[in-house]
Amino acid sequence: MNDSPVRVSESHGLEPGRNCWRIARADKAALIVDAADYFAVVRQAMMTAEKRIMLIGWDFDARVRIGPRRNPTGAPSTIGRFVLWLNNHRPDLNVYLLRWDFGAFKALFRGTTPITVARWALHKRIHVKLDAAHPWGASHHQKIVVIDDCLAFCGGIDITSERWDTRAHLDNDPRRVKPHGNPAIPWHDATLALSGPAAQALDELARERWRCAGGGELEPINRCAQLWPQGLEPQFENVDVAIARTRPNFGDVEAVHEIEELYLDMIARAKRFVYIEGQYFASGRVAEAITRRLTEEDGPEFVVVSPESAHGRLEQVAMDTARSRLFEAVKQYDRHNRFRVYTPCTERGMAIYVHAKIMVVDDIMLRVGSSNLNNRSMRLDTECDVVLDATLPGQAHIAATIRAIRDDLAAEHLDVTPDEFARMFDATESLIEAVEQLRGQGRTLKPYLPPALTRLGTFLAERQLLDPDGPEQTFDPFARRSLFRRLRRPPPSG
């Protein structure tokens, strides 16, 4: 690393070693929303690679199309063939792909993916590793791409199937299909692009994860080139970025809970509002932190945008039930009407799946990463989030950009312009009221309605069988588990 240490004051709340791993300078940074843009940008970035590409993910599908079928360079459109083509045209390039080991079994049933991976294995400069360096029941969940130590992407988007969509989330978009051609559901996601020392820090993290997974030591590239993708407008320049991790205790690797600490600190720090986009709402610790703020007379508002239901049968049974139960519990504390959960839908009312993991606090903090609001992301899985904070020394000016991003995100879900949402927010001085005033027919945000609960779902959710609170709880007796063990009874009204 060639970035100098950042002096941390007590006022902004970021503490390396407690709620973040490191604070590093980003020469440029930009939020990329939805995979249509991300796939195009990451493909362009990979075209500039000379020495190394690190692909760190939960899942990977070699059949996924990241570029046009025909282009002047002759580069293939699918990621699997593209990587082979790129290596054949870059004599010094090495590609390192790390993915969760259990998830790799699904690839055995994905058409030509096993053939592509076999071709990769025969290539001396393409290296594939399955990450099994985690406790039983855990997963490797980070989503990081690093190009030559110079440019990195960190967020919620895996290069896999059923991720591609545009910000328009059109009904029956013929381009939004699975690799075999069947329609895919509308999908909302996000990642953050970073260059400079912050990208070097993410490269260090990726190389360390490669080592933990048994891939051996990799040296830094130290290329220090300007690789920022053409057409991607930087939203931030010369800003300090915090990197936070979750890492379970396994072998000689010590547990790290920076992500959980940062969630709790951001909630405690909020004065006006907390805006969240997340796949789940199933963390008892986070729910307790929210209820603590809801009991305050002049506490912040909380707006959570999440999918109508989880993706996958087991997730629906466990995560949807946990969200329903926690939602009802938290609402008991919401005597000042400051807590809302919404679900987005398309023009014709089709549910949009929210996979993004974003948090905005008071327009001074922007957090993007791989972690969900569930127990796994706090204690069991490997995760990585990045945070921009306007209260870091010399960064007050980025608050306006963070606000513009928050306006843009909310406007996308409500099918209005960012300026329209900004004007409504200024007029009402309330995030909830602005959403309520702009909600309408067609593409919009709908209030979350807890579903009817099944006995199985309640049993799994309340005992956290599919969302354990860390490696130790995986083998705890059921009687010692409780989704609500941290939520006290709400104080009497009156």
- The pLDDT score that the predictor gives to residue 491 is 43
Mean pLDDT of the chain: 87
Choose the weakest-confidence range: 250-254, 376-380, 483-487.
483-487
pLDDT by residue (tens digit) across 438-459?
Answer: 999 999 999 999 876 555 545 5
Choose the weakest-confidence range: 40-44, 213-217, 425-429, 487-491.
487-491
161 shares a domain with 88: yes
376 shares a domain with 278: yes
Residue 172 clears pLDDT 50, i.e. is over it: yes
169 shares a domain with 64: yes
305 shares a domain with 186: no
Using pLDDT thresholds of 50, 70 and 90, give the confidence band for residue 490.
very low
290 shares a domain with 224: no
279 shares a domain with 203: no
- The pLDDT score that the predictor gives to residue 113 is 67
More confident residue, 53 or 487: 53
Structure token pair of residue 128 = 């594939």
What pTM was computed for the model? 0.90
Owning domain of residue 172: 23-234
- The pLDDT score that the predictor gives to residue 116 is 75
The closest of 206, 232, 229, 230 to 217, measured between CA atoms, is: 206
- The pLDDT score that the predictor gives to residue 109 is 53
The closest of 411, 413, 412 to 425, measured between CA atoms, is: 411
pLDDT by residue (tens digit) across 177-236?
Answer: 998 889 999 999 999 999 999 999 999 999 999 999 999 999 999 877 788 999 999 999
Using pLDDT thresholds of 50, 70 and 90, give the confidence band for residue 346.
very high
Residues in CB range of 114: below 8 A, 6 or more apart = 107, 108
207 shares a domain with 267: no
In a domain, 406, yes or no: yes
In a domain, 12, yes or no: no
For β-strands 52-57 and 94-100, DSSP reports them as: parallel
Using pLDDT thresholds of 50, 70 and 90, give the confidence band for residue 315.
low
423 shares a domain with 368: yes
* d(C-alpha 419, C-alpha 416), whole Å: 8
In a domain, 356, yes or no: yes
- The pLDDT score that the predictor gives to residue 98 is 92
Residue 7 clears pLDDT 70, i.e. is over it: no
Using pLDDT thresholds of 50, 70 and 90, give the confidence band for residue 301.
very high
For β-strands 94-100 and 126-131, DSSP reports them as: parallel
196 shares a domain with 287: no
Residue 391 clears pLDDT 70, i.e. is over it: yes
- The pLDDT score that the predictor gives to residue 226 is 82
Task: Specify the CATH number for the domain of residue 330.
Answer: 3.30.870.10
More confident residue, 119 or 489: 119
In a domain, 397, yes or no: yes
Using pLDDT thresholds of 50, 70 and 90, give the confidence band for residue 104.
low
In a domain, 222, yes or no: yes
- Return the ∠ at Cα 434 (arms to 339 and 418), rounded to 5°: 125
* 397 backbone φψ class: left, alpha, beta (φ>0; ψ -120 to 50): alpha
89 shares a domain with 220: yes
Residue 295 clears pLDDT 80, i.e. is over it: yes
Per-residue b/e over 422-453, b at no fewer than 16 CB within 10 Å? bebbeeeebbbebbeebbeeebbbeebeeeee
Please give the distance of CA 180 from its chain centroid, rounded to a whole number. Answer: 26
Structure token pair of residue 391 = 């209260």
Number of neighbouring beta carbons within 10 Å of residue 85: 14
Structure token pair of residue 248 = 């379970």
pLDDT by residue (tens digit) across 238-275?
Answer: 999 999 999 988 888 899 999 999 999 999 999 999 99
Using pLDDT thresholds of 50, 70 and 90, give the confidence band for residue 107.
low
pLDDT by residue (tens digit) across 30-89?
Answer: 999 999 999 999 999 999 999 999 999 999 888 999 988 777 778 999 999 999 999 999
* d(C-alpha 87, C-alpha 188), whole Å: 31
In a domain, 14, yes or no: no
* d(C-alpha 399, C-alpha 390), whole Å: 5
- The pLDDT score that the predictor gives to residue 472 is 45
Using pLDDT thresholds of 50, 70 and 90, give the confidence band for residue 105.
low
DSSP conformation letters of 253-303: BPPEEHHHHHHHHHHHH-SSEEEEE-S-B--HHHHHHHHHHHTSTT--EEE
* d(C-alpha 235, C-alpha 405), whole Å: 9
- The pLDDT score that the predictor gives to residue 69 is 79
For residues 287-300, average pLDDT: 94
